Amino acid sequence: MGVLYEDVVVIRHAEKPGDSTVITVNCPDKTGLGCDLCRVILLFGLSISRGDFSTDGKWCYIVFWVVDKPTTRWHLLQKRLLEVCPSYFSTSDIDYYRPENQQPKEPDVFLLKFWCSCDRKGLLHDVTEVLFVLELTIKRVKVSTTPDGRVMFLFFLTDSRELLHTKRRQEETIDYLTAALGDIIISCEIDLAGPEFTACSQGAPFLPSEITEDIFSLELPNGRPSGFLSFNPVSVTMDNNLSPSHTLVRILCQDHKGLIYDIMRTLKDYNIQVSYGRFYASSKGSCELELFIMQADGRKLIDPSKQNALRSRLRMELLRPLRVGVVSRGPDTELLVANPVELSGRGRPLVFYDITLAFKILNACIFSVEIGRHMIHGREWEVYRILLDEGECCSLPRKKVEEGVRNRLMGWE
C-alpha cells in the first residue's frame, strides 16, 4: 500500500572521496515540492551537482547528487526532507485518515536577548553558528554597540524542534552560547516575543531612493553592470514542439550556491509544475538544465506574454539571486544584502550565516545590524543592513567588503 515511510527519503553516502552523496525522494507530488526540497538541502549548506526528477502529476521520483561535507548531519537532513514531503494519504482515496481542515501552525517567535562585555572579530558569526547548530531559525536580529563597548544582541527566533518554550531547551541554548562566547557574556534570557517583534520586523520606515532604484531594480540591463553576478551569458529558451503536453525550458548559466533553489522557487511562485527535469553542473562552473513544465491547469505555456514574463524572471534570478551593495549612510559605511521572499513568506536560508562568516574571514567587525522586510516594486524583500565598524574596517576597501560577502553568498569562495 504505497511506499514505506523509511523509503520516502533515502540517502546513499559517497563510497570514496570525490564522489557525490545521492539523495532519493519518492513520494506524492505537489506544486513547489522541488523548491521545498532544494531549500532544505541549501539550509544544510550542501550544493547540488546533478539532479533528475519526474512525476505523473500524482507521484514523483527525485534524485539529487550533492557534494559531501564532513560536518553534515545526515539523519537530521533526512528528517527535514521528510517533513516537506506530502503524506501518502494526500493521493489516496481514503480521506478519513486525514485530519479535517488541517492547516500548518505558525511557529511561535521567541526573543533571545543577551549582553556581551566587549566586541571581537567573528563574535556575531560565532553566535549565528550556535543558533544554526541548535536549529533555531533567525527571523530578525538587531545588534548594537554602546559607547562603552558593550554589545546588545536581540535575536527573534523560531525553533524547528518546537521546544523553545520549555525550560530544558532554553537552558540548552544558553549553555551552548556560554560555551561559545566564554566569560564575555554578561546576561542572557529567552522569552516569547511580544509586540516588539512586529516593530522590528518592519525594519526602517523607508530605504533611500538611490538604493531602491539600483539594488532592487527588476529590469534586465543591456550590458552587465556592477552587481550582476554572472560572468557568462544566461540563456533561457522555451520550446513547445518537442512535447504534445509540455513546454521545454532550457537553461544555460553559471553555477552558484542555491542555483536549483532559485529556479524552483521562481517556478513555484508562478504556479508552474515540473513534470520532468534534469540538471548538471560541470567542474568548470557551467550548468545545464532541461525542464518539461506545464501550467496549473495542465496546459503548455503558449501565451507569448506569459513566456516572456517567466523567461525574464528566470534570467533575473540567475543574474541577481541576491542583491549586494556598499553605500554611504551619512559619514558611515553600510553593507546592504537583499533577497526576494517566496510568496509562501519564506526567505532564503543561511543568508545571515554567510554574511557574518564573510566578515569573520575578512577580519572585520560589525557595529550594528538591522533585518527587516520591505515591499519594493510590488515584491517583498528581506533586507539586511549592516553598519560597518569604521574603527576596524577603515583599511578595507568597499569593493573588497562587497566582493567578500558576495562570493561567500554565491559559494565562490
Higher-pLDDT residue of 394, 75: 75
- Average of per-residue pLDDT across 127-144: 91
Per-residue pLDDT band for 107 (boundaries 50, 70, 90) equals confident
Angle between helices 304-319 and 259-269 (to 10 degrees): 150
**What percent of the chain shows pLDDT beyond 90?**
60
- The burial of 333, by beta-carbon neighbours within 10 Å (0-12 exposed, 13-18 middle, 19 or more buried), is given as buried
Nearest to 28 by CA among 3, 55, 59, 6: 59
Distance in angstroms (rounded) separating the CA atoms of residues 205 and 76: 39
CA–CA separation, 246 vs 301, rounded Å? Answer: 8
Amino acid at 230: S
- What is the arithmetic mean of pLDDT over 365-382? 86
Grid cell 548538471 in the structure block, residue: 280
- Answer yes or no: is pLDDT of 79 > 90: yes
Higher pLDDT, 324 or 119: 324
> Which residue's C-alpha cell is 559517497?
14
Instruction: Read off the pLDDT of each residue in 72-89 and give the average, rounded to a whole number.
Output: 88
pTM: 0.87
Mean pLDDT of the chain: 86
Give residue 225's pLDDT band: very low, low, confident or very high (50, 70, 90): very low
CA distances, 205 to each of 195, 320, 372, 373 (Å): 17, 25, 10, 10
Q: Give the pLDDT confidence score for residue 187 in this predicted structure.
A: 95
Which SS3 state, helix, strand or coil, does residue 187 take?
A: strand
pLDDT over 70 (residue 367): yes
Strands 151-159, 273-281: pairing kind: unpaired
Cα(24)–Cα(37) distance, integer angstroms: 11
- Tens of pLDDT, residues 276-307: 999 999 888 899 999 999 999 999 999 999 99
pLDDT range class, residue 365, cuts 50, 70, 90: confident
Query: How far is Cα 109 from Cα 117, in angstroms, rounded to an integer?
Result: 26
Residues of the chain above pLDDT 70, percent: 84
Cβ neighbours for 251, distance < 8 A, ≥ 6 positions apart:
234, 235, 236, 263, 287, 288, 289, 290, 291, 314, 318
- Cα gap 56→224, rounded to integer Å: 40
Question: What are the grid coordinates assigned to 280, written together?
Answer: 548538471
Cα–Cα distance measured from residue 137 to residue 189, given in angstroms and rounded to the nearest whole number = 17
Higher pLDDT, 171 or 105: 171
- Please state, in angstroms and rounded to a whole number, the distance separating the CA atoms of residues 363 and 191: 33
Q: pLDDT band at residue 231, thresholds of 50, 70 and 90?
A: low
**Exposure class string for 46-64: b at 16+ Cβ within 10 A, else e:** bbbbebebbbeeebbebbb
Distance CA 335, CA 358 (A): 12
d(CA 145, CA 152): 6
